[in-house]
Structure 1
Amino acid sequence: MRITAETVADGIREQLFAVSDIPGVLWTPADSSGPRPLVLIGHGGGQHKRGWEVVSRAFPYVTACGFAVAAIDAPGTGDRPEHPEIRRLVALIDEQEAAGEPFGPALTALYETVAAQLIPDWQATLDALQKLDSVGDSQPVGYYGLSAAGESGIRLVAAEPRITAAVLGLVACDWLLDAAARITIPVEYLLQWDDEGNPRDSVMRLFDALGSAEKTLHANRGGHFRIPPFEIDSSIRFFARHLGHAGVPSSL
């Protein structure tokens, strides 16, 4: 891991880093040292590691719980080079949407293309982060990801045993049912009742498929981008309960 830039503001240290060719960012408390629980945050489609939906979660996790929080750019986004196949598939999906046509296999191909690179990228990043004194390899790890980051997040959580709690949702993909069944850790799952692209019945079918003994479905009125702000507070309580605060064991 190479630290490429570092700033401190409002009690939070922000470090931009690169793991091989994977660009990322790590936030930690500015006035603390030593290992602490880590939360990985995925970003939505077409967004990036320092987008609003990432920062709005990361900063409260650092200040309220003392967590370390990390995000990376998905293939073809942020500081990563353009990905020709992803660009082609996104253009095709946009054309189908404009014509009122179903996405068909293009959407599945897009997710498969992203996941084929993103899941190993997350695992390599986690390897590197756990070697840092500010994170360590003895602390629990959580994952937060909605929408496109929920799709890849289900794949990641199913494949990565170091992740012990996850907030997921805003995704309804039948091809994820088998991966969801392999997830056994605590999950908080978000559903927007009027989500234009994710029918509630399909979202609930995916939630039902989760193999977790502890799983909670949070359903709120509104469209895909109308998640109530209080869901951030709920995720703080969820991660504090399952990961503990810095220096304080979790309740598990």
Structure 2
Amino acid sequence: MNTLHFTAESISNGIVERDFTVNGVPGVLWSPESSADRAPLILMGHGGGNHKKHPAMSGRAQRLVHGCGFHVAVLDAPGHGDRPRTEHDEQEIAALFAARAACEPEGPIVVRYNDHLAKLAVPEYHALLDALQELPEIGIDGPVGFWGINMGTAIGVPFVAAEPRITAAVFGQHWPDVLAGYAKQITIPIEFDLQWDDEHISREEGLALFDAFASKEKSLHVNSGKHKELPRFEADSAVRFFARHLGSAVTMSA
């Protein structure tokens, strides 16, 4: 039994923001302020070093709620946001900073650490989905998507590979080393973002992960620029992608 406990609520600009814990893991749920409809749900994963309410998360949520009437939920990843860091977290972060200072490749450390975090986070996202589908405004039969870039992809790809309730997903900007095997198990529609001049992930590595997805419908979005220069308009593209594949809010029966 998963325990969902709402801890705070605020309303701004037509969006209800509710903080919660599910089995003790902190998260946030954004929903339309005034709607008598049941609507699709988008689960999101934040990037490394960020948290559930990082501007990238709240900005994407605002687009999805205002543009589509969707519900959007994010968990703090292990060792991020309101969750304490373990000794293992501190060691991996120190190794990453040391590699960066020495101008050595960061990829092997990030891949290893993100794989560790994903093994912890994937069961938490399964529990989150179970709990949120108990809410009448979401329901057990409504469409669900996943949106995660960078570390959000490291968590999202193994989660989606094991979760048949996800029917569309947006990923991008990660190495194929661990994730390609999971991607081969995914057949739902995929939109994938890649930065052509990424200083950490080579073009060949990015393309290899995209190619690994078994989806009959998958779209590759390539933009010039470095790792942290993903254009903002790709967020609008992702919203259109989810609207196309998940539909829109539907009136709930009495």
When normalised by structure 2's length, the TM-score is 0.94
Question: How many angstroms does 1:99 deviate by?
Answer: 1.6
2:75 alignment partner in structure 1? 72
Question: How many angstroms does 1:101 deviate by?
Answer: 2.9
C-alpha distance in structure 2 between counterparts of 1:245 and 1:140, whole Å: 9
Give, as a single letter, the amino acid of the residue that structure 2 aligns with 1:42: G
Give, as a single letter, the amino acid of the residue that structure 2 aligns with 1:150: T
The question of whether the paired residues in 2 share the 8 Å contact of 1:33 and 1:133 is answered with: no
**Is 2:149 aligned against 1:146?**
yes
**Structure 2: gaps (5+ residues):** none
- Of stretches 149-158 and 105-114 in structure 1, the one that deviates more from structure 2 is 105-114
Question: How many angstroms does 1:92 deviate by?
Answer: 1.1
Question: How many angstroms does 1:23 deviate by?
Answer: 0.3
C-alpha distance in structure 2 between counterparts of 1:183 and 1:133, whole Å: 29
Q: Which deviations, in whole Å up to 9, do the C-alpha atoms of 1:110-152 show, x marking residues without a partner?
A: 1222011110111111111110112111111000000111121
The structure 2 residue matched to 1:63, chosen from 59, 62, 66, is: 66
**Is 2:46 aligned against 1:43?**
yes
The question of whether the paired residues in 1 share the 8 Å contact of 2:107 and 2:200 is answered with: no
The question of whether the paired residues in 2 share the 8 Å contact of 1:147 and 1:170 is answered with: yes
Give, as a single letter, the amino acid of the residue that structure 1 aligns with 2:142: Q
Q: Which deviations, in whole Å up to 9, do the C-alpha atoms of 1:227-248 show, x marking residues without a partner?
A: 2121111111100010001118
Question: How many angstroms does 1:175 deviate by?
Answer: 2.1
Secondary structure of the 2:204 match is helix
Secondary structure of the 1:7 match is strand
CA 105–239 in structure 1, closer or farther in 2 if over 3 Å, else same: closer
The structure 2 residue matched to 1:217, chosen from 209, 214, 220, is: 220
Q: Which has the higher contact order (CA 8 A, sep 6+)?
A: 2
Question: How many angstroms does 1:104 deviate by?
Answer: 7.4
**Is 2:202 aligned against 1:199?**
yes
C-alpha distance in structure 2 between counterparts of 1:107 and 1:57, whole Å: 24
**RMSD of Structure 2 on Structure 1 (CA):** 1.4
Secondary structure of the 2:10 match is strand
Q: Which deviations, in whole Å up to 9, do the C-alpha atoms of 1:1-57 show, x marking residues without a partner?
A: 111000111110010000121100001100013421000111000100000111111
When normalised by structure 1's length, the TM-score is 0.94
Identity %: 47
**Structure 1: gaps (5+ residues):** none
Question: How many angstroms does 1:105 deviate by?
Answer: 5.3
